[in-house]
């Protein structure tokens, strides 16, 4: 199985980079894991609805440019489906079992994901209605992917 996270913006904080590096190292025994960053679109603080759509559209095009046709795409979205870690683990296992060996997670920028990205997604995952910085979301998602592999292995890590 290959797992990729496509996300908007560069990871700047050293502590986030260190956490991602740790989970990438842990995941290396289970899967090929990578993070692909696309540039965020510079925008003023106050945006009109049309400007917001334009920013999300531009970032969305960049995201879609990093996704191949064969990849199973899971978009992180507040309106996505929440699930317990055990269910998430089973879903990842089922994807690998039933021919979806390339799984791509997508984390949008500060404005969220464009309709085109959400339409391309095979599934939407939510970590709840809290708003988290998208840089922190990379760490949370990486940990949950690692947790899923540990659950599927029967390891006590997840308890």
Binding residues for S-adenosyl-L-methionine: 76, 108, 127-132
d(CA 18, CA 85): 23
| Residue 94: Cβ within 10 Å count | 10
As given in the structure block, the two tokens for residue 157 are: 């890590």
C-alpha span between 108 and 77 (Å, rounded):
8
Tokens of 29: 């025994």
d(CA 42, CA 20): 25
Q: Which of 74, 144, 61, 127 is nearest to 103 (CA)?
A: 74
From 137, 159, 146, select the one nearest 25 (Cα to Cα). 146
């Amino acid at each position: 199985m290959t797992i990729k996270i496509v996300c908007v913006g560069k990871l700047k904080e050293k502590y986030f980079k260190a956490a991602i590096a740790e989970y990438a190292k842990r995941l290396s025994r289970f899967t090929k894991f990578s993070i692909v960053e696309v540039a965020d679109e510079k925008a003023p603080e106050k945006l009109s609805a049309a400007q917001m759509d334009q920013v999300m559209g531009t970032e969305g095009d960049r995201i879609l440019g990093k996704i191949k046709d064969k990849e199973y795409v899971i978009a992180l979205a507040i309106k996505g489906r929440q699930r317990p870690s055990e269910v998430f683990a089973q879903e990842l296992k089922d994807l690998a079992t039933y021919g979806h060996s390339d799984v791509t997670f997508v984390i949008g920028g500060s404005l969220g994901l464009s309709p085109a990205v959400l339409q391309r997604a095979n599934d939407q995952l939510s970590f709840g209605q809290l708003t988290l910085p998208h840089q922190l979301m990379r760490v949370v998602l990486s940990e949950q992917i690692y947790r899923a592999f540990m659950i599927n292995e029967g390891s006590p890590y997840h308890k």
